[in-house]
Amino acid sequence: MAHVLIIGAGGVGSVVAHKCAQVPGVFSEISLASRTKAKCDAIAAGVAKRTGVTVSTHQLDADVVAETVALIRKIKPELVLNVALPYQDLPLMDACLEAGVDYLDTANYEPPELAKFEYKYQWAYRDRFQQADLMALLGSGFDPGVTNVFCAWAQKHHFDEIHELDIIDCNAGDHGQHFATNFNPEINIREITQRGRYWEHGEWLETDPLSWSMTYDFPDNIGPKKCFLLYHEELESLVLHLKGLKRARFWMTFSDQYLTHLRVLENVGMTGIKPVEYEGRAIVPLKFLKAVLPEPASLGPLTKGKTCIGCLLKGIKDGREKKLYVYNICRHEDAYNEVGSQAISYTTGVPAMIGAMLMLNGTWKGRGVFNMEMLDPDPFMAALNLHGLPWEAVELA
Ligand code: NDP
C-alpha cells in the first residue's frame, strides 16, 4: 500500500492516474500535481467517475525544486512519477534526492536550448541516488520503456547473442486533423526534426532528418507502412546492455500528410527553438506552434485505428540463427473507452503505472539510476498482459 505523486496533467498523466486507480491494492493514495491545477481537477473528476477513486490535486511548478520538495514533505508520497516534460527531469530528481523519495519518468532529459536528448545528464545522478539509498527508474513508457523490456526478455529467454535490433513504432491510427501530434507537440517535433542516428559496429552513425525509410508489413491487418529512421533515446542504453549487438536502429511511421505539414512548418521557421523578437517580446517559434496545435489529450475521442510498437531482433540461440518479433497492438478506440485517452497516451501511461507498481511492491528494487532493461523483465511482461497492453512474440523465418 503506497502513496504515489504523479506530476504532469497532460495526455499521459491522465492515463497514469486512471491506471493507478485501477490497482488500489498497490496505489492506496494518489496525488496529481501540475502547472495548471484545473487540468489536475478535470483528470481527478474523470478518475472518480470511472473508478470511484479520489485523486488529490495540487498546483506545482516542477521547475522550482523548493516547491516540489515542500509538496513532497507535506503529502509524503513513496514515489514521484514524472509525466511532465523532459525539461523537468533534473529538477524533479533533485527534489527527490532532497526529500528522500524514489523517482520514475518516461522520457530523458534534454536542455530546452538544445534539441538533443542524452542520458548523460541523468546517469550523472547514479552515485547520489545510491548514496541516498533511493531508486530512479528512467524511461518507463512504451518507447523507451516496453521496448527495453522486450529486448531484456528476448535476451533472457530467446537468445545467446542479439546481433541486430530494429525498434519499429507504427501509429496506424487517424485523428482526422490536418496536423496534430499524439504527445506533447514541442517534444515530438524536436525529436523528429533532429538528425537520424543509429549504432553499428560500436559507433554512432548519422543521417539527415527523415532521409532513410523502409516499408514494414505490420501484423493484425495493419499491412505495409513506410517507416523512417530516427534517433531514439533507448538505443543509448540498449547498446550497453545487449550482448553481441552489432547494429541498433529505431523506425517510426509517418503519413504523407504529416510529413508535408512538417516540411512546410520547418521551411517557414515555425519549428525553430531559438527565440525571435516579435513586438518587443522574445518568442520561441516552436512553443508558439505548440500553443496553436491540438493538445494530445484532446485527440482521445477523435482517434481511430491501431498502434503497433515492437522489436525485431536477430541473433543466435544454441548456435542457430534466430529472428524474433515482439510487439503490442493497441486500439485507439479501446483506450478511449477505458480511460478517455488515445492509444499513444495509453501505451505510455500503462507502462509508467507498471514500473511504479513494481517499485512500490518491492519487485523491482535497487539503489541508483536504472534503465528498464537492467531489471528482471518477467514481472513487467506479465503485468503488461494483465493491465491492457498484451504482447505477442513470433519467431520469423
Ligand atoms: P502534455 O503536453 O499533454 O502534458 C505535459 C504536462 O506537463 C502538462 O499538463 C503541463 O502543464 C505539465 N507541465 C509542463 N511543465 C511543467 C512544470 N514546469 N511544472 C509542472 N507541470 C508542468 O504531454 P504528454 O502527456 O503527451 O507527455 C508527457 C511526457 O510523456 C513527456 O515527457 C513525453 O515526452 C513523454 N512521453 C513518453 C513516451 C514514451 O513512450 N516513453 C511517449 C509519449 C510521451 P500545462 O498543462 O500547464 O502546460
- Domains parsed from the chain with CATH numbers: 2-138 (3.40.50.720), 146-340+392-396 (3.30.360.10)
Q: pLDDT tens digit string along 226-251? A: 999 999 999 999 999 999 999 999 99
CA of 160 to the centre of ligand 1 (A): 38
Contact status, residue 350 vs residue 19, Cβ threshold 8 Å: yes
Ligand 1 atom with the shortest distance to the CA of 61: 19
What lies within 8 Å, CB to CB, of 177 at 6+ separation is 294, 299, 302
Quote the pLDDT of residue 269. Answer: 95
Pocket of ligand 1 (CB under 6 A): 8-13, 34-36, 39, 60-63, 83-86, 88, 106-107, 139, 141-145, 183-184, 187, 295-297, 344, 348
CA-nearest residue, atom 23 of ligand 1 = 184
Give how far the C-alpha of residue 48 lies from the chain's centroid of Cα atoms, to the nearest Å: 25
Q: How many CB atoms lie within 10 A of CB 82?
A: 29
Closest CA to 250 of 305, 192, 202: 192
CA of 82 to the centre of ligand 1 (A): 9
Q: At what angle do helices 256-267 and 185-192 cross, to 10 degrees?
A: 90
CA of 116 to the centre of ligand 1 (A): 17
249 strand-pairing partners: 166
Residue tagged 531514439 (cell numbers): 232
Q: pLDDT tens digit string along 272-328? A: 999 999 999 999 999 999 999 998 888 989 999 999 999 999 999 999 999 999 999
What's the pTM value of the predicted model, to 2 decimals?
0.96
Q: How far apart are CA 182 and CA 170, in angstroms?
A: 12
Query: φ and ψ at 207, to 5 degrees?
Result: -130, 160
CA of 318 to the centre of ligand 1 (A): 44
Joined grid coordinates for residue 178: 490536418
CA of 360 to the centre of ligand 1 (A): 23
Q: How far apart are CA 201 and CA 163, in angstroms?
A: 10
Handedness of CA 329, 339, 334, 293 (dihedral sign): negative
With the most atoms of ligand 1 within 8 angstroms of its CB, the residue from 69, 106, 389 to mutate is 106
Amino acid at 164: E
Residue-by-residue DSSP string for 344-386: HHHHHHHHHHHHHHHHHTTSS--SEEEEGGGS-HHHHHHHHHH
Mean pLDDT, consecutive 10-residue stretches, the chain (397 aa), reads 96 97 98 98 98 98 98 98 97 98 96 88 98 98 98 98 98 93 89 94 96 97 97 97 97 94 95 95 95 90 96 98 98 96 96 98 98 98 98 96
